[in-house]
Amino acid sequence: MKKILCVLSEFGYWGEELAAPYEVLINNGMMLDFATPKGNRPHALEPSMDPDFIDPALGKHVVSEEMAEKVKKIEDSDLLDKPLNLSKMTGERPYMCSSTYLRDFEAYNQSIEEAAEKLKIYDALLLVGGSGPILDMANNQRVHDLVKIFVNAGKPVAAECYAVACLAFARDYWLRKSLIYGKHVTGHPLEYDYKDGTGFYGYDINIGPAPYPLEFILRDAVGAEGEFIGNVGKTISAIVDYPFITGRSTADSYKTGELLTDVLENGLRRYGW
C-alpha cells in the first residue's frame, strides 16, 4: 500500500485542493498522513466551502454544491485533528553569525539525515494549495527540506496552486539553484491572480492581491532550460516532469491526484508538455 505525506497550511487551505486528490488517492488504495508547519489542525478557507463564491479573476463559481459538501465533511471530521509537526521533523538551519555555527550546522545536517530515514515509509509528498501557503509554507525551511528529501530519494513531489511556490524556493544550500530548474511546471498564471480578496483562516483581514505573482517566480526558477506552462484558456492545467507533479489551481485538483496515482502505480514520468 502506497503512503503519501500531505502538507497543509495552518492559515487556510483551499478545500477542493485537499478533498479531490485525497478522494482519488484513497479510492486507489493509498494512505495519507497529514502535517502542518507547527502541528496545529489545518482548516479549509471559508470561500472554498461556499457554492455561491465567485472567483473574481475567473468571473465564475468555482465551488460546486457537491464539492462544498465533501470539504465540509472533512472539516467536520477528525481526519486532520492530529497532524505531524514539521517544526519537529528537522532542525532549524542556524544563522551564519552564530558563535556556534559550525557545530549547529553539523547538527542541522544530521537532523536532515535522521528525517530522511524516518520518511522512508512514504512514497510521495503532496503540498496542498490555497492562500495559506503564502504565509507558512512558501518560505518555510522545513518544507524545503522535505521537498529535497523526497527529490533526493527519487520520490515524486506534487504541489497545487500557491503551494507550487515551495518548489521554486526549495534549493541546494550551497548552489542556491531551485530544484525545479530545467523543469516544466504549471501554477497560478498572471491571468488567474485576483486584485483583491486574499484572506487567511482565523484572521478577519483582506490583504488585497496575493503578495507575489507566482508565474513570475516559477518562470525565473525553472530558468532558460525549463518552462512555465500556464495553459491559459484551457480548463485544466496539470504537468508531470518527474519527480514533480504540479497543478495550476482549484479545477486541476482531481487531475493532480490522478497524475500522482499514475506516477506511483504506472511509472508515469512526463505529461502535459
Which positions ≥6 away from 77 have C-beta within 8 Å? none
| All cell numbers assigned to 117 | 530515514
Among 128, 249, 137, 131, residue whose Cα is nearest residue 199: 131
Name the domain count of the chain. Answer: 1
| Residue 103: per-residue pLDDT | 96
User: What is the residue range of 263's domain?
Assistant: 3-271
Q: Model confidence over 247-260: pLDDT tens digits?
A: 999 999 999 999 99
DSSP per-residue letters across 205-235: ---SS-SS-HHHHHHHHH-TTSEE---TTSS
Cα–Cα distances (Å) from 83 to 5, 35, 78, 206, in that order, read 10, 5, 10, 27
pLDDT confidence tier of residue 45, bands split at 50, 70 and 90 = very high
Q: How far apart are the first and last CA of the chain?
A: 30
Distance, in Å, from the CA atom of 188 to the CA atom of 165, rounded to the nearest integer, reads: 10
Q: Model confidence over 145-165: pLDDT tens digits?
A: 999 999 999 999 999 999 999
Element (H, E) at 239: strand 238-241
CATH classification of the domain holding 181: 3.40.50.880
β-pair partners for 238: 247
pLDDT confidence tier of residue 94, bands split at 50, 70 and 90 = very high
Q: Can you give the pTM of this predicted structure?
A: 0.97
| Residue 29: per-residue pLDDT | 98
Q: Model confidence over 184-204: pLDDT tens digits?
A: 999 999 999 989 989 999 999
| Residue 245: per-residue pLDDT | 98
Distance, in Å, from the CA atom of 171 to the CA atom of 180, rounded to the nearest integer, reads: 9
The residue type of 48 is S
| Residue 236: per-residue pLDDT | 97
| Residue 267: per-residue pLDDT | 98
Q: Model confidence over 57-70: pLDDT tens digits?
A: 899 999 999 999 99
Q: Model confidence over 121-132: pLDDT tens digits?
A: 999 999 999 999
The residue type of 131 is S
* 59 Rama class: left (phi>0) / alpha (psi -120 to 50) / beta: left
Cα–Cα distances (Å) from 91 to 7, 125, 243, in that order, read 17, 19, 25
The C-alpha cell 486507489 sits at 28
Cα–Cα distances (Å) from 195 to 37, 206, 227, in that order, read 28, 11, 25
